[in-house]
Chain A
């Protein structure tokens, strides 16, 4: 064997192990190639730009959700938080005539406050966050409907269009915001002391508590982060739609959750990377976009999305099992 072929071989095996570690990434590339053959207008700059912008809203909220999920929690109320804040922000601008400089910070405060409510309920009632946020989800959405009075709220300042509809250097603003939020999230999770505590909480809550972590405080802060991040999504979404409706944001947590699971964020906590999450978000974006290009009926799209969610969960469980097997083998040594 020549030196070159050895090098090539080892290069090949490296790629192989890299692919195994990054199954979601491989799937994404596969989908991109597949659809660029099937739909000639898929792989165009214009379409990709649309695709990423479409998914950027869920992508931003998913970063917040991921913080909660890594700590071992879950937030199913994200969509409803947005429903409520979206209507409230519309009212602030259209009815109360608040300037942007006041309305936007205020709605971020409100969004963080909704997270605070989730967090406090969680630590005070000591009920699983799945149930807490299922409850608050109904409550937030209900209040959204109440204050909306079945109106289509319009009449925002023109400058407000920039957030959801503007571009910087040809790139949509929401996409830029998503990238920035993801980078900040990744930095916090991987480089900081706080990030370690998030992983510790999801990895072994009791061990974290005994190591001196204020577990309750952490839980509340994490829900607040999730609420804060989704308030950013609220601003971008309202600006994009440019009318206050209760439909905006509904069910957004579904895409966030699917993306997180697809990207390797563990449902049980303690694991996950922003890179994986973004790959997951893009997979969903590609599927959404391709189904629209192929003019799938809406209802069929729902079926496909549900299927993808189940596959993602099955994948999560499968990986856990495989890991457990490897562990058993090495412990037996």
Chain B
């Protein structure tokens, strides 16, 4: 592929205390291409973005944007030259309107005073390009995550973006929303915008990108044309060894019914009924907003149900609070592990034993010996990579944080485990480990409910899938009939 180079990194090096985050990296990005950036967590992708955006100072090397070479780049220069970054955490002001966000801090053209109408009109014009239905006057906190992301893109486009960097843009989106985002990316590409696309989902990389560059441990590995490569090769390049992305085989078939949900209503869901067996991985499919997490919250008592019944091993269980759920040996690994699952400032050990402290305490004094023993046991069992048990969780990688959440539920000896997006934002290697652990747990007779927006993962891991759509159960699919299109049909409520 030949085209004009718009962004070029030459021998860029960035060192953090104790880490070489970017090691002599050189990459060219061409005009009007979608260029995927791949690498495991900690490979240096985020550092690279920040270097281009001018958010950090590089130690050596040059960054050329549209022919202007810089040793030092500031956020201001980067923006002036048309670089815009959409970070995983959005940079929107939730309490302002869409139009105000798109034109944040910009002055009116012909008035010294702020003219709301002018900006609403301009914002509407920008949004119109994307064939979306977003009211420029709506408050950002009232929008769905997908719409918020479109506002981010619109914000970049309104600034005459030349190079758009997107960090894991699909992570919070459902399948159909990803589709919409791809359309927008294609439109931008047609206008000559260079899109740098970072994602853990290889499937997306194949669908949207023209070229792929791989980073590993801060080093540039290679750039390939997407059409000339395949999954296995990319995975090999990313991890530096041949790693099969596969779903481990199950040893034992599902057994007795362990969980039965009857007409569960509340938290936006209506009349949900299904069963899950011991030793079964039950997948829960659905678009974002279909009510999957809300269902998990009902079962876990995080939000009390208005109506309906939950039976555990055939006995009716009154679950009105998380404490009730824990007593019934239900564990919930939330999708938002930082916000809801972990005490980030606390140690690994502290986090793992927290739910079972009562059992570890004698006359309410914590037995620290037992604490070390149990935390150590689970650290080894699920291979949490941490220098010590007293390391603070905030210092661990995403995959290892997820393992701490899992260890917590295992320590509580949960029989029914609800995994909400268990592999979101974690790298290929850690994903494999999580898959193996889930399989192992199912083989031990645990009941696993797995919510995932990654269809391939859901099909690969589940024994059976129930599909949700708009707060209701839309159908159930047996393993023999697993078919991505059929499930998507059910999920989008077309049947």
B300 close to chain A: CB less than 8 A: yes
Stretch at the interface among A137-145, A200-208, A237-245: A200-208
B222 close to chain A: CB less than 8 A: no
CA of A214 to CA of B345 in the docked complex: distance in angstroms? 21
> Which residue of A193, A200, A212, A270 is within 8 Å of B326 (Cβ)?
A212
A329-B19, A331-B395, A332-B19 known; A193-B340 Cβ under 8 A: no
**Is A329 a contact of B344 with CB atoms below 8 Å?**
no
A193-B358, A204-B343, A271-B345 known; A211-B322 Cβ under 8 A: yes
A206-B340, A212-B355 known; A329-B364 Cβ under 8 A: no
**Is A191 a contact of B322 with CB atoms below 8 Å?**
no
CA of A208 to CA of B342 in the docked complex: distance in angstroms? 9
22 A-B residue pairs with CB within 8 Å: A192-B366, A193-B360, A196-B357, A200-B343, A200-B354, A203-B343, A204-B342, A206-B339, A207-B342, A210-B302, A210-B332, A210-B340, A211-B355, A214-B323, A270-B346, A271-B345, A327-B394, A330-B19, A332-B16, A332-B47, A333-B18, A333-B21
Residues of B within 8 A of A213 (CB): 323
**Is A270 a contact of B345 with CB atoms below 8 Å?**
yes
Residues of A within 8 A of B366 (CB): 191-193, 196
**Is B343 a contact of A329 with CB atoms below 8 Å?**
no
CA of A213 to CA of B343 in the docked complex: distance in angstroms? 13
CA of A209 to CA of B364 in the docked complex: distance in angstroms? 19
Residues of A within 8 A of B408 (CB): 211
B-contact bits for A308-333, CB 8 A (1 contact / 0 none): 00000000000000000011111111
CA of A209 to CA of B322 in the docked complex: distance in angstroms? 7
> Which residue of A193, A204, A212, A329 is within 8 Å of B322 (Cβ)?
A212
**Is B364 a contact of A333 with CB atoms below 8 Å?**
no
**Is B18 a contact of A329 with CB atoms below 8 Å?**
yes
A267 close to chain B: CB less than 8 A: no
Give A179 Cβ to nearest chain B Cβ, in Å: 21
Residues of B within 8 A of A210 (CB): 300, 302, 322, 332, 334, 340-341
Residues from 204 to 236 in A contacting B, C-beta threshold 8 Å = 204, 206-214
Max chain A Cβ within 10 angstroms of own Cβ: one of B47, B345, B355: B345
B-contact bits for A175-206, CB 8 A (1 contact / 0 none): 00000000000000001111011011001101
Give A108 Cβ to nearest chain B Cβ, in Å: 22
Residues of B within 8 A of A209 (CB): 302, 322
B103 close to chain A: CB less than 8 A: no
**Is A192 a contact of B365 with CB atoms below 8 Å?**
yes
Residues of B within 8 A of A191 (CB): 365-366
Residues of A within 8 A of B357 (CB): 193, 196-197
**Is A193 a contact of B344 with CB atoms below 8 Å?**
no
Residues from 310 to 353 in B contacting A, C-beta threshold 8 Å = 321-323, 325-326, 332, 334, 339-346, 350
Residues of A within 8 A of B395 (CB): 327, 330-331
Residues of B within 8 A of A332 (CB): 16, 19, 21, 42, 44, 46-47
> Which residue of A203, A206, A214 is within 8 Å of B344 (Cβ)?
A203
Residues of A within 8 A of B67 (CB): none
Residues from 366 to 388 in B contacting A, C-beta threshold 8 Å = 366
Give A299 Cβ to nearest chain B Cβ, in Å: 40
Residues of B within 8 A of A271 (CB): 345
Residues of A within 8 A of B340 (CB): 204, 206-207, 210
**Is A329 a contact of B334 with CB atoms below 8 Å?**
no
**Chain A residue at smallest Cβ distance from B350:** A196
Give A324 Cβ to nearest chain B Cβ, in Å: 9
B115 close to chain A: CB less than 8 A: no
A-side binding surface: helix, strand, loop or mixed?
helix
Count of chain B residues with a beta carbon within 8 Å of a chain A beta carbon: 40
Give B207 Cβ to nearest chain A Cβ, in Å: 29
CA of A194 to CA of B354 in the docked complex: distance in angstroms? 11
Max chain A Cβ within 10 angstroms of own Cβ: one of B19, B321, B354: B354
Give B333 Cβ to nearest chain A Cβ, in Å: 10
Given contact pairs A207-B342, A327-B394, a sample of 5 additional A-B residue pairs in the complex whose CB atoms are under 8 Å apart: A196-B366, A200-B354, A203-B344, A211-B355, A212-B321
CA of A326 to CA of B18 in the docked complex: distance in angstroms? 10
B74 close to chain A: CB less than 8 A: no
Residues of A within 8 A of B47 (CB): 332
B397 close to chain A: CB less than 8 A: yes
B3 close to chain A: CB less than 8 A: no
Residues from 293 to 315 in B contacting A, C-beta threshold 8 Å = 300, 302
**Chain B residue at smallest Cβ distance from A330:** B395
Give A278 Cβ to nearest chain B Cβ, in Å: 22
Residues of A within 8 A of B187 (CB): none
Residues of A within 8 A of B46 (CB): 332
Residues from 1 to 38 in B contacting A, C-beta threshold 8 Å = 16-19, 21
Residues of A within 8 A of B302 (CB): 209-210
CA of A49 to CA of B249 in the docked complex: distance in angstroms? 73
**Is A199 a contact of B334 with CB atoms below 8 Å?**
no
**Is B343 a contact of A207 with CB atoms below 8 Å?**
yes
**Chain B residue at smallest Cβ distance from A192:** B364
**Is A333 a contact of B16 with CB atoms below 8 Å?**
yes
**Is A204 a contact of B354 with CB atoms below 8 Å?**
no
Residues of B within 8 A of A212 (CB): 321-323, 325-326, 355
**Is A204 a contact of B364 with CB atoms below 8 Å?**
no
A200-B343, A204-B342 known; A329-B17 Cβ under 8 A: yes
Give A93 Cβ to nearest chain B Cβ, in Å: 36
Give B45 Cβ to nearest chain A Cβ, in Å: 10
Give B322 Cβ to nearest chain A Cβ, in Å: 5
Residues of A within 8 A of B334 (CB): 210
Give A32 Cβ to nearest chain B Cβ, in Å: 32
Give B323 Cβ to nearest chain A Cβ, in Å: 4
B361 close to chain A: CB less than 8 A: yes
**Is A196 a contact of B397 with CB atoms below 8 Å?**
no
CA of A88 to CA of B344 in the docked complex: distance in angstroms? 45
> Which residue of A203, A208, A328 is within 8 Å of B345 (Cβ)?
A203
**Chain B residue at smallest Cβ distance from A211:** B355
**Is A333 a contact of B19 with CB atoms below 8 Å?**
yes
CA of A165 to CA of B332 in the docked complex: distance in angstroms? 56
CB-based closest 5 A-B pairs: A329-B16, A212-B323, A203-B343, A333-B19, A193-B361
CA of A211 to CA of B493 in the docked complex: distance in angstroms? 35
Residues of A within 8 A of B360 (CB): 193
Give A41 Cβ to nearest chain B Cβ, in Å: 44
**Chain A residue at smallest Cβ distance from B391:** A330
**Is A331 a contact of B343 with CB atoms below 8 Å?**
no
CA of A331 to CA of B47 in the docked complex: distance in angstroms? 11
CA of A196 to CA of B47 in the docked complex: distance in angstroms? 36
> Which residue of B42, B364, B397 is within 8 Å of A194 (Cβ)?
B364
CA of A328 to CA of B50 in the docked complex: distance in angstroms? 12
**Chain B residue at smallest Cβ distance from A209:** B322
**Chain B residue at smallest Cβ distance from A194:** B364
Residues of B within 8 A of A193 (CB): 357-358, 360-361, 364-366
